[in-house]
């Protein structure tokens, strides 16, 4: 299984340094979620891992090789990325979009094959889009459209999948639908999944490993049950909260302080605090 690491990685835009001298190793075959405040560098780091942003210093290592030294097709056969709010050309059907995922395997000598067709059909089936294959992408609901883009990424048949805020602009039902899909892909096929999420509670529910990005580096990393705490939320997000145990899943649940309808405060003995 491909490995993905950084070594003394420094990233930035113009005069602004966003990530500085970062050493990071992404757990193989697990779901890793990047969390952090707006502007902390989560998406910048993800783009660099995908070779969409050139480092100022340091390297991204894919299977021990500097990703900058690999060809675009070599990278695309090992790693797929779904950016924020991708836009499909007008009139493109779901099937046409998903077929784009097979681009890394095409050449003048190797045209469309049975293997390509099987990969596309498998991706459509995995995302429950077979019956919508001839629909235009821009006619789909938000959740269906996101599943179509994920299907394209799956058609690449890579062991690593990077997603930048895959639940943005989706209602809660569609957020769960997309995250359940990614969870099933990880558990059934062992794909390494790295994604940026804003919802801390969903991040804790789905992540095997969590990385809190803060001040050009990492404030904490590890299993959500190990690192999620009121101190982390206060430091990384500037927000006071309690962290309790989710009554359904047993994962950390962040309950923020703030204004709202006044209710009788529950005693500390009525909730289960998460250590």
Report angle CA 224, 184, 123 to the nearest 5 degrees. Answer: 135
The pLDDT tens digits for 78-110 are: 999 998 878 888 899 999 999 999 988 887 777
* Other Cβ atoms closer than 10 A to 182: 19
For residue 51, give the nearest of 27, 32, 70, 31 by alpha carbon: 70
The pLDDT tens digits for 16-62 are: 999 999 999 999 999 999 999 998 999 999 999 999 999 999 999 99
Residue 2 has pLDDT above 80, yes or no: no
- The whole-number pLDDT of residue 55 equals 95
Alpha-carbon span 198 to 26, nearest angstrom: 19
60: left (phi over 0), alpha (psi -120 to 50) or beta: beta
pTM equals: 0.88
The pLDDT tens digits for 209-226 are: 999 999 999 999 999 999
For residue 80, give the nearest of 177, 189, 173 by alpha carbon: 189
């Amino acid at each position: 299984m491909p490995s993905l690491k950084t070594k003394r990685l420094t990233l930035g835009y113009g005069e602004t340094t966003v990530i500085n001298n970062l050493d990071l190793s992404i757990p193989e075959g697990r779901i890793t979620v990047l969390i952090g405040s707006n502007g902390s560098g989560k998406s910048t780091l993800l783009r660099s891992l995908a070779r969409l942003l050139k480092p100022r210093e340091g390297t991204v290592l894919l299977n021990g090789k500097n990703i900058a030294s690999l060809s675009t097709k070599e990278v695309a056969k090992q790693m797929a990325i779904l950016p924020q709010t991708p836009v499909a050309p007008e009139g493109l059907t779901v099937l046409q979009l998903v077929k784009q995922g097979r681009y890394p395997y095409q050449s003048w000598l190797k045209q469309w094959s049975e293997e390509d067709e099987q990969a596309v059909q498998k991706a459509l089936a995995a995302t429950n889009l077979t019956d919508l294959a001839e629909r235009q992408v821009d006619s789909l609901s938000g959740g269906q459209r996101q599943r179509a883009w994920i299907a394209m990424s799956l058609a690449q048949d890579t062991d690593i999948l990077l997603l930048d805020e895959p639940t943005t602009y989706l209602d809660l039902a569609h957020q769960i639908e997309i995250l359940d899909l990614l969870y099933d892909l990880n558990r059934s096929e062992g794909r390494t999944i790295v994604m940026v999420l804003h919802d801390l509670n969903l991040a804790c529910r789905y992540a095997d490993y969590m990385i809190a990005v803060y001040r050009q580096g990492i404030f904490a990393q590890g299993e959500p049950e190990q690192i999620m705490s009121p101190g982390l939320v206060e430091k990384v997000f500037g927000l006071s909260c309690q962290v309790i145990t989710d009554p359904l899943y047993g994962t950390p649940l962040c309950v923020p302080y703030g204004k709202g309808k006044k209710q009788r405060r529950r005693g500390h003995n009525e909730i289960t605090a998460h250590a």
